[in-house]
Structure 1
Amino acid sequence: MEVRFIEFQKHGDDRGALIALEQDINIPFDIKRVYYLFNTEKDIRRGMHAHKNLRQLAVAVKGSVRFLLDNGTEKIELLLDNPSQGLYIGPGVWREMYSFSDDCVLMILADHVYEESDYIRDYDLFIKSVVKK
């Protein structure tokens, strides 16, 4: 499963902390799209899809969120709760986000602009597509 944590170098002093995100330095792809989720209720699940080609990096800029990641043969659950850490998710991974903290701001960096044809939104179709490979 093409999933891993990426640690970001944190700079700071008594004034606060700063993290720089730079493509091809600590982001392993060219950044084409950035979006973020906030004000998500605790009992709401987001995501519930996979991508055919898209690569993403998720950062809990504030608060925390849980991820369920599934490549068709293995499922893992992770907690993302550190703004100096990103969660890289490669193509072919079903993802669900849940248990958002009240203050969660989840930022996603992607290597392509939005393209509906890249999404697999039906879990049964996702499983069929990974079984073919």
Structure 2
Amino acid sequence: MANVFNCSVLELPKIHNRAGNITVLDHADSIIPFEIKRIYYLFDVPGGESRGGHAHKNLHQIIIAASGSFDVILDDGKIKRSIVLNRPNYGLYVPPGIWRDLENFSSGSVLLVMASENYDENDYIRDYEDYKIFKSR
């Protein structure tokens, strides 16, 4: 089973240009440890709100602060670890089996997620007590 130390911050390639930087990612990149099947983003999160509050059974994710900043609280049922994301050329890899909470969104922040699977409600664990049972198997 995955633990919080299996989660890692990846430096994504950044192409410098005086007119603005660009980061390009595709399946051929060895940086992304899975095939990207879904991309989504969160924005306009009201101050003081949190998101996440779940784990996935099979889904791998890369979480990126495309704009602004936020905290990702990782929890493997035994250890918690907090990661601040605040640069668009860094992404946090989260393997299956890790509970995540997203907090402290700055004004105007945009959270971008690249996922290994299409949406499947059955892959979510949304109750922390159920999560602890899942982790004890």
- Please give the TM-score of this superposition, normalised by the length of structure 1: 0.96
Secondary structure class of the residue paired with 1:124: helix
Larger relative strand fraction: 1
Deviating beyond 2 angstroms after TM superposition, the runs of 4 or more aligned structure 1 residues are none
Q: Residue 108 of structure 1 aligns with which residue?
A: 113
Secondary structure class of the residue paired with 1:78: strand
Q: Does 1:81 align with 2:95?
A: no
- Mapped to 2, the partners of 1:42 and 1:23 lie a distance apart of 35
Q: Given the alignment, which residue of 94, 102, 113 partners 1:97? A: 102
- One-letter amino acid matched to 2:7: V
Deviation at 1:41, TM superposition (A): 1.2
For structure 2, the 5+ residue unaligned runs are none
- Please give the TM-score of this superposition, normalised by the length of structure 2: 0.93
- Mapped to 2, the partners of 1:85 and 1:23 lie a distance apart of 17
Q: Deviations over 1:78-113 (max 9, x none)?
A: 100010100000000000001101110100000000
Q: Given the alignment, which residue of 20, 27, 34 partners 1:16? A: 20
Matches within 5 A, 1:1-133: 1=3, 2-25=6-29, 26-132=31-137
The alignment's C-alpha RMSD in Å is: 0.9
